[in-house]
Amino acid sequence: MCSYKFKKQGGGVVVVVDISSQSLSHINGRPVLQPSNNSHKKNNTCNFKISPPPISPKIKKVNDSNVLDTNTSNEKIVTPKIPKSSPPISPKIKSPIKKVKNDSSFMIVEVAGSIAAARREQVANMQVQRKQRIAHYGRTNSVKFNAAAVDSSSREAKRCSFITPNSDPIYIAYHDEEWGVPVHDDNLLFELLVLTVAQVGSDWTSVLKRRQDFRDAFSGFDAEIVAKYNEKKINSTSIEYGIELSQVRGVVDNSKRILEMKKEFGSFHKYLWGFVSNKPITTQYKACNKIPVKTSKSETMSKDMVKKGFRYVGPTIIHSFMQAVGLTNDHTITCPRHVQCATQKPIAM
């Protein structure tokens, strides 16, 4: 219960408020005036005393960093500090790379025993071995490379990669003696064109094993004789030698086109070698998987031969034909035949 008294002081009015102790409450440490249900008390005055605001706990550094000292008195009350929840920290993995300071810059060096260091060492060893095996590459022309320097023990390993230990001897002999050698004989050019077409859908080994059958079927690839085959001869040739009828017809048609090339250019080989200016194309492939299945030159030849009436002369077949007759030397640079084909004399015209 509060009572009000008025006093005059210095020409003014002073209001004196008496606050009953029953109407004073504390909320959050502060005095708050509340009604006391109009109850009458004898003691109408109270001593108003405001308690100081609570003191925030002070963090005091003790031995344990997770402990807070919240006691402001002499007694020490230790309250454990609740750590905030945090995701688990993954263990740190030491990087196999070190930074070495060198002339105001940092140079990355792999730690010995790391995967990167082992890989670098392996690559370096491979490069050294490769330079020893191919000492001429990038320094001198492959044609000038001394083939005699390649010993017989390393020739087997340095053949074109499509020659494997499991390759048939007849195929190995074809690679070592014929493939890539310049050909200027019209009958042999005609033969290799027929064999190239025949190996489509098959393989060179199977075709080479039947090479003599093809020679017998087409009269030694004499274009003048084959061009005279009539329908009866075509059918009998197909049945006797087991050659597809359409393929026999294609050979007869191509023989007629060859005779036309002889009249126009003087010979079949002059027509073909005119596409490369009478000089074999010597490539510098490091591996057989880098050799394309066709080139711009084979596409040019194919278009012209199709225009002149030849059959089965797509750019892929013509590129294989160019390799067979030495129009292009596609032996890999590590193969001994690469140099030998470039320096070997052409087959008799």
Instruction: Dump the DSSP string for 129-143.
Output: HHHHHTTTTTTS-GG
The pLDDT, as a whole number, for residue 348 is 52
The pLDDT, as a whole number, for residue 147 is 43
Average pLDDT over every residue of 245-249: 95
Average pLDDT over every residue of 327-347: 86
Cα angle 214, 349, 280 (rounded to 5 degrees) comes to 95
Average pLDDT over every residue of 196-221: 94
Query: What does the alpha-carbon distance between residue 265 and residue 102 come to, in Å, rounded to a whole number?
Result: 71
Average pLDDT over every residue of 316-329: 96
The pLDDT, as a whole number, for residue 152 is 41
The pLDDT, as a whole number, for residue 308 is 96
Q: Which DSSP string corresponds to 51-89?
A: PPPPPPPPP---SSTTEEE---SSS--EEE--PPP-PPP
pLDDT > 80? residue 201: yes
For 310, residues 6+ apart whose C-beta sits below 8 A from its C-beta are 253, 254, 257
- Cβ 347 vs Cβ 178: under 8 Å: no
Query: What does the alpha-carbon distance between residue 92 and residue 137 come to, in Å, rounded to a whole number?
Result: 47
Kindly indicate the confidence band of residue 105, based on its pLDDT and cuts at 50, 70 and 90.
very low
- Cβ 23 vs Cβ 34: under 8 Å: yes
Residues of the binding site for Zn(2+): 160, 175, 331, 335
pLDDT > 90? residue 94: no
Percent of the chain at pLDDT exceeding 70: 58
Query: What does the alpha-carbon distance between residue 267 and residue 302 come to, in Å, rounded to a whole number?
Result: 18
Average pLDDT over every residue of 69-78: 49
In terms of pLDDT, which residue wins out, 33 or 76?
A: 33
The pLDDT, as a whole number, for residue 128 is 75
pLDDT > 70? residue 90: no
**Structure tokens that stand for 152 in this block:** 């017989």
Residues of the binding site: 160, 175, 331, 335
pLDDT > 80? residue 49: no
pTM, 2 dp: 0.56
Question: Alpha-carbon dihedral of residues 154, 159, 161, 166, nearest 10 degrees?
Answer: -80
Kindly indicate the confidence band of residue 198, based on its pLDDT and cuts at 50, 70 and 90.
very high
Kindly indicate the confidence band of residue 138, based on its pLDDT and cuts at 50, 70 and 90.
very low
Q: Which of the given ranges, 34-48, 157-171, 303-317, 334-348, has the highest pLDDT on average?
A: 303-317
The pLDDT, as a whole number, for residue 68 is 45
The pLDDT, as a whole number, for residue 67 is 45
269-299: per-residue pLDDT in tens? 999 999 999 999 999 999 999 999 999 999 9
- Identity of the amino acid at 34: Q
